[in-house]
Copies of this chain bind each other. A is one copy, B any other.
Amino acid sequence: MTEAYAAKVSFDLREGEIAVELPQRFDASLYFIGQIRTPWKRREDCPKNPREGGETVCTIVIDPRWAQGLQGLDTASHIVVLYWMDRARRDLVIQAPHHYPERRGTFALRSPVRPNPIAVSVVRLLNIRSNELSVVGLDCVDGTPLLDLKPYFASTDSVPDASVGWHAATKR
């Protein structure tokens, strides 16, 4: 772990949280292919989830190297955005997030704290101009590194009646 990384990551464990030892080596590597521009400059300013962000328009800027790859994406109404949550620690298996303080497994949560901090957000595409996309539905901090964009296919990506039992119970 680099010093820069260590400095960015908070090492405080909340009560009941469990950390594991990280593997000694990585298995694969990523390119950052662009950047997400949002009105939220600090993590604590961000909406709790995309719905809370309301109709806020954010901008996705693709590096010129990859800009040709956008060809044809303007015909999609919605896009799957993958981005890197680079300020999160990666070693927790049980966590107690601020908003849902009951302890749960990392994979039962959408928390940025996970072994591979890749976020998946579904956004509505407003337009594409050159290498910039205007979208609605992001909740990340300004400057977040972009990993991928994919067209959203309702046939395979949309499950309107899906449920998450633990989450439904918190709202009762």
Contacts and interface: CB of A to CB of B under 8 A. Distances in A.
Interface stretch (A6-14, A36-44, A71-79): A71-79
Given A30-B116, A68-B18, A154 B148 contact: no
A94 interface: yes
A105 interface: yes
Nearest to A139: B156
B30 A27 contact: yes
Interface residues of A, number: 76
Contacts of A143: none
Interface in A119-172: 120-122, 124, 137, 145, 147-167
Interface string A78-90: 1010101010001
Contacts of A121: 156
Given A105-B73, A116-B30, A164 B152 contact: yes
Given A73-B108, A148-B116, A31 B20 contact: no
B84 A28 contact: yes
A161 B27 CA distance: 37
